[in-house]
Structure 1
Amino acid sequence: MKIISKNKDFMMNEEIRAKEIRVIGDDGEQLGILLTKDALNLAEEKEMDLVVISPNATPPVCKIMDFGKYVYEQQKKEKEAKKKQKVINIKEIRLSATIEDHDITIKSNNARKFLLDGDKVKVTVRFRGREIENSKVGHKILNSFVEKLGDDCVVEKPAKQEGRNMILILAPKRA
């Protein structure tokens, strides 16, 4: 007899409690509705496992397969999918309300590098003391910053005042 599965996601072999099940062969062919013990014997003859793939159907649908190989293939697919994923980070660039034009150019060049790497950029203008009373300066600075970046970015979240900071979020332009 085969070992009872320790995998919580699938019921297999002796764990199957239904009297009758719909069986799919290891080659994908429908074998019809069989008694569970007959299906188990058939799977055992082929030295494979009987795995429930649709427990809510009436009768439950089971497939004869090599369960170890199936789990290995699934893990392999998940690994490939993870490799293809790109993690997007948010980089922050801080500016002050009294920043000079040349400094904006330097910071925008840094932001361009981040955007070309596929990261998002959070641009923050910090106001100190009474600078906060003239928030139009913050808008002017952020607009100048976005103009210097040109077509390398998309404004994802427009400039918004949050406490003593004005925040703008930029995303890389999709090709």
Structure 2
Amino acid sequence: MNRRGRHAPVQQEAKAQINDKVRFPKVRLIGSDGEQHGVMTSDQAKEIAYGEGLDLVVVSDNAEPPVCRVMNYDKFRYEQKKKQQEAKKKQTTVETKEIKFRPKTDEHDLNFKIKNVKKFLAQKNKVKLTMRFRGREIVYSQTIGLEAMNKVVEALEGEAVILQRPKMEGRQLVMFVGPKA
């Protein structure tokens, strides 16, 4: 690690107790084929594992007596890493996209923004609709602002779920919509 601490520390994976690190007086042994060998001393279990050319790995150290398994530990770690990578690939992240407009936004421009909202919803993203009021426009927030938001809701009917109804946050009227499940 760098002396100045510029880099994040490397994550250490939890080290399992293997072979000579197994120091319990008695262990319950599971063979490489999954069959139970019963309770024996850890030295006897190591002899069985070494006889097969494999490793003795502690599976559950909270059990009474601790459970050990005979396996190829490197192959086991490799398969675990592969499973984690597959799970990571299948994970989907939901992003929140934002569409901003003003109370004076024209009908055509509003329709164009609604089309973009539909595109984002088709990609399974949430959408934050923000209407910003400048200066004296704030007096129209409950009239023109809510009408424009209601137009958007009507246009998205059947394609979206309203996660949060329009509400004022400072000088902005904000509404959240999400994809229909």
TM-score scaled to structure 2, two decimals? 0.88
Match of 2:36 in 1: 30
Aligned residue identity for 1:157 = Q
1:16-35 deviation digits (Å, cap 9, x = unpaired): 12110111111111111110
Match of 1:40 in 2: 46
Displacement of 1:8 after TM fit? 2.9
Match of 1:66 in 2: 72
Does the aligned pair in 2 maintain the 1:21–1:61 contact within 8 Å? yes
Does residue 20 (structure 1) correspond to residue 26 (structure 2)? The answer is: yes
Q: Matches of 1:105 and 1:43 in 2, distance apart?
A: 70
Does residue 131 (structure 1) correspond to residue 137 (structure 2)? The answer is: yes
Distance change >3 Å, CA 122–CA 33, structure 1 → 2: same
Match of 1:147 in 2: 154
1:49-104 deviation digits (Å, cap 9, x = unpaired): 11111111111111111111111111111111122112211111001022222221
Does residue 169 (structure 1) correspond to residue 167 (structure 2)? The answer is: no
Displacement of 1:150 after TM fit? 2.2
Percent identical pairs in the alignment equals 41
Count of residues paired in the alignment: 169
Alignment gaps of 5+ in structure 1? 1-5
Does the aligned pair in 2 maintain the 1:10–1:52 contact within 8 Å? yes
CA RMSD of the aligned region, Å? 1.5
Q: Aligned with 2:178: secondary structure?
A: strand
Q: Matches of 1:19 and 1:94 in 2, distance apart?
A: 68
Larger displacement relative to structure 2 (122-131 or 8-17): 8-17
Alignment gaps of 5+ in structure 2? 1-11
Q: Matches of 1:104 and 1:133 in 2, distance apart?
A: 21
Q: Matches of 1:12 and 1:20 in 2, distance apart?
A: 15
Q: Matches of 1:53 and 1:7 in 2, distance apart?
A: 15
Match of 1:3 in 2: none
TM-score scaled to structure 1, two decimals? 0.91
